[in-house]
Structure 1
Amino acid sequence: MSSTGSSESGSNPSMLHGHAAYVAAAAKEAIGSYTSSDMQTAGSADKEAAVDEMRAAKQASDAQGGEISKNQTLGKVEQSLGSAAGCEGMEEEGAKRQS
C-alpha cells in the first residue's frame, strides 16, 4: 500500500512529491509505532520509496544542469518540513532554494 505516486505510475520523479510523500510516510510510521506494527512497517516502506523518488529526481535534475529554482517562501517551508521529518536532504534543498 505504498503511496509514492509519480514514481510508480511511470511518470517523471518529482522532488516535491518525494518530499511530501516522505513527510506523510514519517507520520504514518510514527503513528504506527503507537497503534499497529503493520502501519509502522508500511510507513517505513513508504519512506524508502519516497527517498528513492527523491534520488531519481535529483539524478534527473543533475543530468539537466542541476539548477533548482530560487524561492524564499518555498525554501523556508521545505527546510522546516525537512527538519520536522528528519530529512536532511530536504533541509539542504530548502536552504539552497533560499540562497
Structure 2
Amino acid sequence: MASNGDSNSSSNPSMLHGHAAYVAAAAKETIGSYASTDMQNSGASDKQAAIEEMKAAKQASDEQGGQVSKNETLGKAEQTLGSVTGCEGMEEEGAKRQA
C-alpha cells in the first residue's frame, strides 16, 4: 500500500487518492493495534505516506492558485471523514468544497 502512495505522490500527487489512502491506513493501523504490531506499524507507515502525498497535492494546488471544485455533497463527506479519522487537512478541504 505504501508503495502505491509513494509512486503516485512522486509522479502525480492527488488529494483524493491521499485522503482515501489515509483512511485505509488509519483503519489498518487501528485493526493492527488489536491484531499485530507489524500490521499496526505498516498502517502507521502507510498513513505517513498518504500525508506526504496530500502535502504534495496541496503544494501543487497552491502553485496553481489553490482553487478546489465546489461540491456540497463531496465536501460534507470529506469533512466528516476528516473528522472521524483525525485528518485536519481533509476537514479543511471539505469545508472549502462547501463554501
TM-score (norm 1): 0.93
Gaps of at least 5 residues in structure 1 are none
Partner of 1:26: 26
What are the residue-to-residue correspondences of 1:79-98 with 2, within 5 Å? Answer: 79-98=79-98
Aligned length in residues: 98
RMSD of Structure 2 on Structure 1 (CA)? 1.3
Partner of 1:8: 7
- d(CA) in 2 for partners of 1:25 and 1:4? 12
- d(CA) in 1 for partners of 2:64 and 2:70? 16
Higher helix share: 2
1:11 deviates by: 2.7
Gaps of at least 5 residues in structure 2 are none
Runs of 4 or more consecutive aligned structure 1 residues displaced over 4 Å after TM superposition: none
SS at match of 2:2: coil
What are the residue-to-residue correspondences of 1:13-92 with 2, within 5 Å? Answer: 13-92=13-92
1:74 deviates by: 0.4
- d(CA) in 2 for partners of 1:47 and 1:36? 17
- d(CA) in 2 for partners of 1:22 and 1:12? 17
Q: State the identity %.
A: 73
TM-score (norm 2): 0.93
Deviates further, 7-16 or 56-65: 7-16
SS at match of 2:65: coil
- d(CA) in 2 for partners of 1:11 and 1:77? 27
